[in-house]
């Protein structure tokens, strides 16, 4: 899955966001995506939010709320800032920072 994830990220950076979003929607049950669902969900949520689909993005972010993955936690914090929930977002970021420091 790592190479697939890298390819999708490269496509995003090259401006092919809609194609990546379509791929993620159409292939959600693909074994390669299921192997690391949180990474692909995080990418999908970021893309959907970037494209302005707040409702779909919110639903995806809510699925990521309990994730232990740093990328998912950071995305949730960013979305909290976007919702004007600054206190919540700052708390989330402090928790992430604390977890990262413990891991060192």
Instruction: Tell whether the model's pLDDT for residue 22 goes beyond 90.
Output: yes
Instruction: Tell whether the model's pLDDT for residue 94 goes beyond 90.
Output: no
Give SS3 for 16. coil
Give me the chain's average pLDDT, please: 84
Question: What confidence tier does 2 reach under pLDDT thresholds 50, 70, 90?
Answer: low
pLDDT at 102: 78
Cα 41 from Cα 45, distance rounded (Å) = 6
Cα 70 from Cα 76, distance rounded (Å) = 10
**First vs last C-alpha separation in the chain:** 26
Cα 104 from Cα 100, distance rounded (Å) = 7
């Amino acid at each position: 899955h790592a190479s697939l994830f890298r390819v999708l990220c490269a496509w995003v950076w090259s401006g092919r966001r809609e194609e990546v979003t379509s791929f993620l929607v159409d292939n959600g049950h693909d074994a390669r995506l299921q192997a690391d669902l949180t990474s692909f969900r995080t990418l999908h949520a970021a893309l959907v939010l970037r494209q302005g689909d707040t409702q779909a993005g919110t639903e995806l972010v809510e699925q990521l709320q309990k994730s232990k993955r740093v990328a998912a936690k950071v995305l949730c914090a960013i979305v909290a800032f976007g919702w004007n929930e600054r206190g919540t977002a700052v708390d989330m970021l402090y928790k992430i920072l604390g977890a990262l420091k413990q891991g060192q």
